[in-house]
Chains A and B, each alone.
Chain A
Amino acid sequence: MQMLTAFSFAVTTGTDRSRMQHTLTPRRWLVLVAVMLGASVGDSLLGIGMKQLGPVSLHHLGALFFALKSPWIISGIIVLLGFMACYMTALSWADITFVLPATAFGNVIVTVLSKFWLHEHISPSRWIGVALIVIGVGFVANGPSRTVHAELEIEALP
């Protein structure tokens, strides 16, 4: 952990900060909100649909085709496709280390909704998990969205 902290101190220094960009327009924030919500909402919709379908045996995978008739499953797939489009759009103008924590924030929203909307019991360890994700996302959201050396990294990619 100490090594990690020392290492991260080392990379924050220098002139790199001058190349960092934080030019998020309201439209881009909207894309990030869609990234935050998309995966969790899509998974939840698929979850509801699959629960209604009941257990599917590995030997009877054909039963999965019936899943495509469920409005929950169809809407889950549409939401997940939208999420993927927003995720890729976000990656085209922001670092993956900026976008990835946002995907985790959806778990927080689902947990809070299940507490106050569905009145489910949330254990203390889950609340700690929620707090940790909120703090983690806060760290990233305060920083720049793009930090890479734009002219270098494209050549470095295979």
Chain B
Amino acid sequence: MTPMTTMAPSTLHTWSTIFVVVVTATAGDILIAGGMRRLGDLDDIRAEFGLIGAIKAVLTSGMFLIGITCMALSFFSLLFALSDADLSLIAPATASLTFITTTAAAKFFLKENVDRRRWLAALFVCAGVALLSK
């Protein structure tokens, strides 16, 4: 009698948490990558201003700080997800989906030239990570 088409609340909850983990991890990666690109080559900065100068440049980058905050949110969302969901679903789903979403976000927000080779790489790595983290 139970309708098979509606998603069980626990399944909906699990996938919502996976969604939050993936979105925050992607945002974190893109913001950190954008922040680093805006700073320029860290090797050059270190050569000119020393290690302390390079660390200072990174830590005073707004995009980097927001990115790290997103990463922290993603980490705590993952912990929350693991507290009452199946590890064999959460771990492969979050680890692998992030590769696809980050690739798409890098193309749209960072204007990276994601060619066929890079899409294939993202898909292969996504599937590989899903199989390995099961």
Contacts and interface: CB of A to CB of B under 8 A. Distances in A.
Interface of A: 4-5, 7-9, 11-12, 16, 20, 27, 58, 88-89, 91-93, 95-101, 104, 107-108, 111, 125-126, 128-137, 139-140, 142-143, 147-149, 152-154, 156-158
Contacts of B124: 132-133, 135-136, 139
A96 B130 contact: no
Contacts, number: 159
Nearest to B38: A154
Interface string B96-134: 000100110011011111111111111111011111111
Interface of B: 29-30, 32-34, 36-43, 58, 63-64, 83, 99, 102-103, 106-107, 109-125, 127-134
Instruction: Give the secondary structure class of B's interface.
Output: helix
Contacts of B37: 91-92, 148, 153-154, 157
Give chain A's interface secondary structure class. helix
Contacts of B109: 156-157
